[in-house]
Each structure stands twice: as structure tokens, then as C-alpha cells.
Amino acid sequence: MAECIEVRVTASSRDEADRICSAVVAARLTAAAQVAGQITSRYWWRGEINEADEWLVLMKTTMERFEDLAVKVRELHSYEVPQIVAVPLVAGTADYLEWIRQETAPRPGG
């Protein structure tokens, strides 16, 4: 059975975060996607410390779908190197985890 994961992406704007959410859910690359409120990020980029307001996108999917999801996020993302990281869902209710698996399973012809 496929391992369930949460994929975390930061976006430069609410609009970008919403576009990513809509596209990955419509493509069934994730069973659900949420946009968390504005966050402040500090990070190294090209030898300097930067600070930016970003939006956090949380997506529930399976390891089997991770690579396709990452490709789609990159297509829609404005960053040269977007954050696309996955963390395992080590526990969850059986019915919720099964729902993730069912909703992200590749469909015939799609």
C-alpha cells in the first residue's frame, strides 16, 4: 500500500499558492491542499540572508505521486528553486489515509 505524505511548498503570493492548490487537486496529484496564512521566511540565497513574506501550501498525497506533483509545482511556481519537501504521515485514521490513496490513485487514461 502506498505511503501517505504531506508535501510542503512555499509560494510568493496568495494567488500563486491558490493556483498551485487548484491545479494539483484538479490533476489528482493530491487528495487535498490547504493554504496556510502568510508566513515570514528567512533563508540563504546567493550568499546572502534574505527575508520574504510567503504562503505555505500543505498537500496530502502518496510517495507514488510525489515526482509528478513536484513537476507540476515547478511548472506553476515563480521561484528558481522552490521548496518542495515531503514528510511522512506516520499515523492517521485508517479511513482518512485510505481516502488519500484512493483520490490520488492514477486513473485510466489520465
Whether 84 is covered by a domain: the verdict is yes
Torsion sign (Cα): 48, 79, 7, 3: negative
Whether 36 is covered by a domain: the verdict is yes
Whether 109 is covered by a domain: the verdict is no
Whether 110 is covered by a domain: the verdict is no
| CATH number of the domain to which 28 belongs | 3.30.70.120
10 DSSP β-pair partners = 56
| Cα separation values, 55 from 40, 74, 95, Å | 9, 16, 29
Closest CA to 30 of 61, 67, 4: 61
Domain count, the chain: 1
Mean pLDDT across 76-85:
97
Report pLDDT for 1. Answer: 41
Residue 64 domain boundaries: 4-104
CA pair distance 60, 52, nearest whole angstrom: 25
Mean pLDDT across 83-101:
96
CA pair distance 101, 20, nearest whole angstrom: 20
What pTM was estimated for this model as a whole? 0.92
CB atoms within 10 A of CB 57: 24
Mean pLDDT across 25-49:
96
Report pLDDT for 106. Answer: 85
Q: Tell me the pLDDT of the chain averaged across its residues.
A: 95
User: Using an 8 Å Cβ cutoff, are 75 and 19 in contact?
Assistant: no
Query: With bands split at pLDDT 50, 70 and 90, how would you rate the model's confidence at 2?
Result: low
Mean pLDDT across 26-46:
96
Whether 73 is covered by a domain: the verdict is yes
